[in-house]
Amino acid sequence: MKVFQEADLVCSAEESALAVRRVAAEITARLADANPLVLAVMGGAVVFTGQLLPQLNFPLDFDYLHVTRYGDVTTGGQLAWIVEPRSDVAGRVVLVVDDILDEGVTLAAIAQRLREQGASEVLSAVFADKNLGRSKPIAADFVGVHLPNRYVFGFGMDVKGAWRNLPAVYAVRGL
């Protein structure tokens, strides 16, 4: 509870909802005729995906994958594939939905694997893109909000496994 009480609000619930609506409109404009396969990256993308999907008013297929570099720690480590998508991606337009584009290593690895499996196009939508002040191995095609280079939580992002359920985004003080 202390980490939440001492945190700084960096993106309000209202700003988060507006960002989801804008991203949904951008995705609709680009993919409405593509019948894409939407893949949510568990577990961070749950909140973003849950709010995004009802706003995509076109046919799509949905599945998920689970890959992580973090586990319960706050710095990225080795990439671990926990669950691969069950859906065949060969010949499909695939939209990967994730909570945050931090260093970009995880999202880049996911996109590479999907292309290797034959996806005709791999696009990505992230709720947040963290400004690291340096280049990343991948850029998201659709971005909800840009965040400062701080340890953030809420709206699907966690701090030591907690607070994913918050409707806004907060930054930890002292990390």
Q: What is the CATH number of the domain that holds 47?
A: 3.40.50.2020
Is residue 171, in this structure, part of any structural domain at all? no
pLDDT of 174: 76
Show Cβ contacts of residue 4 under 8 Å, excluding neighbours closer than 6 positions: 163, 166, 170
Residues 121-140, mean pLDDT to the nearest whole number: 96
Mean pLDDT within 26-30: 98
Per-residue pLDDT for 64 more than 60?
Answer: yes
pLDDT: is 1 or 151 the higher one? 151
Q: Is the CB of residue 124 less than 8 Å from the CB of residue 143? A: no
| Single pTM value for the model | 0.93
Is residue 164 assigned to a domain?
no
Per the domain annotation, does 53 fall within a domain? Answer: yes
User: How many domains does the chain divide into?
Assistant: 1
The answer to whether position 161 is within a domain reads no
Tell me, yes or no, whether 2 lies in a domain.
no
Instruction: State the residue range of the domain holding 74.
Output: 13-150
Q: Is residue 160 part of a domain?
A: no
State residue 161's pLDDT score: 87
Q: How far apart are CA 30 and CA 170, in angstroms?
A: 31
Check whether 59 has a pLDDT greater than 60. Answer: yes
- Residues 71-80: pLDDT tens digits? 555 555 678 8
